[in-house]
Amino acid sequence: MAGQTDRGRLATGAGRTRPWTAVRAISRIRQPEADGHDIAGPPSAVIDCAVYLEGVRQPESTDYVEALAAARAHEQGFVWVGLHEPGLAEMTRIAEAYGLHELAVEDAVKARQRPKLEHFGDVSFLALRTARYVEHGELTENSEVVQTGQVMLFIGPQFVITVRHGDAWHLSPVRAELETRRELLAQGPWAVAYAVTDRVVDRYLEVADQIEDDLDSLESEVFGRQGSGRIQRIYQMKRELVEFKRAVAPLQRPLMTLTAQINQDVPTEVQRYFRDVQDHLTRTVEQVNSYDDLLNSILQARLAQVSVEQNNDMRKIAAWAAIAAVWTAIAGVYGMNFEFMPELAWPYSYPMVLLVMLASSLGLYRLFRRNGWL
């Protein structure tokens, strides 16, 4: 009877944490139908749905409505629904069943959120940015170094909904690992939030370490004996680092809120785990900031090298122009066709003038060579 009562409450909308107006939400962000014809509904975005009682996954396979009713029938139960890139229609149905706020649902569908933590009644909405290092043989001006995605969580009294966008990484290993830690999973939905956040931050550390290898290669090319390195490659690395920084840095504020002593939503035991995640995130932020400073130094050094190389080229051009000017000057003097000029009547005047030109050019060449212009 308890299960039937809960289902009745879900169907009628009684007992929900926040009111939901499905029609208003759909009218705000509904996509137009192609050619005015109905389109067959896409496959379900639900990847996994399970009920957990005292940290143990229940074997029954139910839909998300029945799963929530089964979880609410037990004081220590909760349901974990995993979604991958849900559409508006399906997300609206889930929102009606779980009492999710329309603003958070809209954010979950669009998936263009910076890391943040918001509260809608007794439901918390946590948005995270995922990151994955993209392997590449050689860094070029078009190389993709960091691939980012999005994971959003709805954490309620007896449910947690994870919404994943992109293929930076998957949540199935997180679920499998957490199911082996019964004591932690028994802490409820916030234990799932910790496990997901911890995996996200651990991946940040891996990406940061791999980015360091790319920076070492760039640094060796720029500051090596044969200093080289195209500025476009350095700028591309700068862009990828900025993209990574946008995923990492804003997460500091949500974690500070989750670990605050005045926070009554997160169980005390889970808060200890979140503090460990916060330490790892702080280390990653420090790494990213140091990489940013290093890239700025590499870029400035390369620009200085380019300026020096251009100055060297200009000195070489000026030196060769001076050598050529000797021939032009002498030829110009003797080309004025005056009647009384030195050595015009001398039989050896022509070879002597050529000899003077060659000797002057050789002398200037040695002078410029000694001064480093050539």
| Between 10 and 78, residue with greater pLDDT | 78
The whole-angstrom separation of Cα 23 and Cα 10 is 18
Q: Residue 99: inside a domain, yes or no?
A: yes
Residues near 210 by beta carbon (within 8 Å), at least 6 away in sequence: 133
Say whether both 294 and 320 belong to one domain.
no
Same domain, 11 and 124: yes
List the CATH number of the domain containing 227. 3.30.460.20
Range of the domain at 362: 315-370
- Give 112: exposed, middle or buried? Use CB within 10 Å, 0-12, 13-18, 19+: exposed
Query: What pTM, to 2 d.p., does this model score?
Result: 0.72
Domain count, the chain: 2
Contact between 329 and 361 (Cβ < 8 Å): no
The verdict on 168 and 292 lying in the same domain is: yes
Tell the residue number behind the tokens 């996994």, with chain if given. 48
**34 DSSP assignment:** G
Residue 126's nearest CA partner among 265, 236, 234, 231 is: 265
How high is the pLDDT of residue 56?
92
Q: Are strands 77-84 and 159-165 parallel, antiparallel or unpaired?
A: parallel
Q: Dmax over Cα atoms in the chain, in whole Å? A: 131
Average confidence (pLDDT) over 13-21: 38
Looking at residues 98-126, what average pLDDT do you find? Answer: 91
Same domain, 37 and 117: yes
Last residue of some domain: 282, 305, 328?
Answer: 305
Average pLDDT over residues 275-303: 90
Dig out the tokens for 321 from the structure: 């122009």
- Does 360 lie in the same domain as 223? no
Q: Does 283 share its domain with 335?
A: no
Q: Regarding predicted confidence, which is higher, 354 or 254? A: 254
Does some domain include residue 310?
A: no
Which pLDDT does position 42 carry in this prediction? 58
Classify residue 282: in a domain, yes or no. Answer: yes
The answer to whether residue 251 scores a pLDDT higher than 90 is yes
Residues 130 and 13 in one domain: yes
In a domain, 59, yes or no: yes
Tokens at 361, concatenated: 């050019």
Residues 200, 329 share a domain: no
Average pLDDT score, the chain: 81
